[in-house]
Structure 1
Amino acid sequence: MTQSNHRRSARLGRRTLLAATALTAAGALSFAGVQAMASTTPKATAASGVNLTDAHKKEIAMELVSSAENSSLDWKAQYKYIEDIGDGRGYTAGIIGFCSGTGDMLELVQAYTAAEPGNPLAKYLPALKKVNGTDSHAGLGTAFVNAWKTAAKDTVFQTAQDNERDRVYFNPAVQQAEADGLHALGQFIYYDAIVMHGPGDDPTSFGGIRKAALKKAKTPAQGGNETTYLNAFLDARKAAMLTEAAHDDTSRVDTEQRVFLKAGNLDLNPPLTWKTYGDSYTIKN
């Protein structure tokens, strides 16, 4: 499958990210509250084992996501990526698929410009504000695409992408997983879900998926069995994916995350071998 097709499968479920929506399931932290905590270094998870914020574990998480998003373990090669994949969200770009139509690309360029005024993308801020919430290319086009690729060579822009990935996706997911008493695998399962589905609370967003899982099983923090709960979460996520045609390939759940869970690898320790979209990958150490 081409990179474009991987992106289409991964991105079609993304919900608008600007609203600090509450995760209303019993015992859930609000998304705004989790984001506020994300500015601090997460403490050790309530479960034993190494937290996903450990540098090596986080690298594994980035490679796992990239295998599904980019057909490659080389996630750092994606800073320059940008295209319109035809999903109604305008341009999709960068290491986590920031979208011009969902607000996270706008926030990224705003952060980049705050750190480095006069950068190649700064002049496109007015256009990004106008197209937010649409699939329009008005004021952007080929010139913007070329400017993105130029900016991607700038370490300041690379750092801005890393920071926005953490602020909007990684840290909130890990914080919620910590609160639920999950090990590194569960933290990754939450992260991959929030990347694809967004942090909202409708049925096919992260909060809605978690809420559906809680109807079937308790989290470890609530006294439940971790494997049972994670299976319930993956069941709920798969059901959410199948509501949209672009998600009919659920291999990142079936032949990746479920494989690790069935093996009892709650600490997400390598070696790891899995498949996404029919392609095989291995992380040896």
Structure 2
Amino acid sequence: MARKLRWTLAATAAACLLFGVLAGAASATLTPTQRRVADQLVSVFENSTTKIRYDYIANLHDGCGLTAGRAGFCSATGDMLLTVETYASADPTATLAGYLPVLRSRAEAKSDSTRGLGSNFEAAWRAAASDSTFRDAQDAIVDQLYYEPAVHLAAAMRLRTPLATAIFYDTAIQHGTGKDPDGLITLIGRTRARLHALPGKRVSERRWLATFLRLRRADLKHPHNRDRRADWPESVGRVDAFMTLLRAGRTGLNPPLRVDPWGGEPFVLR
């Protein structure tokens, strides 16, 4: 998972202005069916299943502390804290609410220490996954930190296909939406610098996305973040899966879709 930074829609709007894009770009919001397929894609890449894994939690020893939930929320990066805060605001008696002080400490220090977040915390996370309120909290944080910024940035870049939004959405979850050298904002900037154009202006959307994916793949192979240099090169299959969909013209995210990111049995998205 990426070492992700907190991101707000206000910051996304600022990024759009930074790119010199005028207001009024077409919406890149997905339909419910397209969003379901995009979420299944992310789940395949994150957890090798089309089922949304709200209950997932593990220490991957990758500098992020504990990684958990449908989007790989991390104890060292703040999105796990935001998820539990959102859940606790709806249910202050929830067992996970008792872990807020240690989660806050880890997030503020950007520490990958799991002290105080042992087996009892992991069990509480898994148990909470059966609570619709906790699932709603996870969904809300995914929307706030990753999906909505991806939608805004795809529209700002005048990308029109659902596949483009899905690509930005997955990139936001893995790379984060900060301005660090591996982040989504930086990858968009590199793509613009490489092509000297926005999609539809001297360059097709397909070519623009292909260039973005190639640059993202290169970043996964050689990330700037040292903590990512062990695991990210193994994840290039998620970019290859998107490239396959792009080349096949499956840009509408119309199910069923087959993806094979890891060279095994294809996953069918419905």
Which TM-score tier does this pair reach, normalised by the shorter chain?
A: 0.7 to 0.9
Secondary structure at the counterpart of residue 199 of structure 1: coil
Matches within 5 A, 1:121-200: 121-132=96-107, 133-182=110-159, 183-200=161-178
Q: 1:284–1:232: structure 2 CA closer, same or farther, 3 Å change rule?
A: closer
Residue 60 (structure 1) aligned with residue 37 (structure 2): yes
Residue 258 (structure 1) aligned with residue 243 (structure 2): yes
For normalisation by structure 2, the TM-score amounts to 0.87
Unaligned runs of 5+ in 2: 223-228
Of 213, 230, 234, the match for 2:213 = 234
For normalisation by structure 1, the TM-score amounts to 0.82
Residue 241 of structure 1 and its aligned partner are, at CA, apart by 0.6
Mapped contact 1:177–1:190 kept (Cα < 8 A): yes
Provide the C-alpha distance between the structure 2 equivalents of 1:207 and 1:277, rounded to a whole number of angstroms: 27
**Count of equivalent residues:** 255
Unaligned runs of 5+ in 1: 1-10, 30-42
Mapped contact 1:14–1:195 kept (Cα < 8 A): no
Matches within 5 A, 1:1-285: 11=1, 13-17=2-6, 20=11, 23=15, 26-27=19-20, 46=26, 52-75=29-52, 78-132=53-107, 133-182=110-159, 183-217=161-195, 218-220=197-199, 222=201, 224-243=203-222, 244-249=229-234, 250-254=236-240, 256-283=241-268, 285=270
Secondary structure at the counterpart of residue 245 of structure 1: coil
Mapped contact 1:14–1:198 kept (Cα < 8 A): yes
Provide the C-alpha distance between the structure 2 equivalents of 1:69 and 1:284, rounded to a whole number of angstroms: 15
Mapped contact 2:41–2:269 kept (Cα < 8 A): no
Q: Identify which range, 113-122 or 266-275, moves more after superposition.
A: 266-275
Secondary structure at the counterpart of residue 252 of structure 2: coil
Residue 118 of structure 1 and its aligned partner are, at CA, apart by 1.1
Provide the C-alpha distance between the structure 2 equivalents of 1:198 and 1:127, rounded to a whole number of angstroms: 23
Deviations 1:174-217 (A, max 9, x none): 12112222210100111111110000112211111111011122
Mapped contact 1:273–1:280 kept (Cα < 8 A): no
Residue 63 of structure 1 and its aligned partner are, at CA, apart by 0.8
Provide the C-alpha distance between the structure 2 equivalents of 1:213 and 1:229, rounded to a whole number of angstroms: 7
Provide the C-alpha distance between the structure 2 equivalents of 1:219 and 1:279, rounded to a whole number of angstroms: 36
Amino acid at match of 1:16: L
Amino acid at match of 1:27: G
Mapped contact 1:16–1:198 kept (Cα < 8 A): yes
Amino acid at match of 1:174: V
Provide the C-alpha distance between the structure 2 equivalents of 1:197 and 1:191, rounded to a whole number of angstroms: 10
Q: 1:284–1:92: structure 2 CA closer, same or farther, 3 Å change rule?
A: closer
Q: 1:115–1:143: structure 2 CA closer, same or farther, 3 Å change rule?
A: same
Q: Identify which range, 174-183 or 265-274, moves more after superposition.
A: 265-274
Residue 53 of structure 1 and its aligned partner are, at CA, apart by 2.4
Provide the C-alpha distance between the structure 1 equivalents of 2:267 and 2:84, rounded to a whole number of angstroms: 34
Partner of 1:36: none
Mapped contact 2:7–2:178 kept (Cα < 8 A): no
Residue 15 of structure 1 and its aligned partner are, at CA, apart by 2.9
Residue 18 of structure 1 and its aligned partner are, at CA, apart by 5.7
Mapped contact 1:23–1:200 kept (Cα < 8 A): no
Mapped contact 2:162–2:251 kept (Cα < 8 A): yes
Provide the C-alpha distance between the structure 1 equivalents of 2:126 and 2:231, rounded to a whole number of angstroms: 27
Amino acid at match of 2:148: N
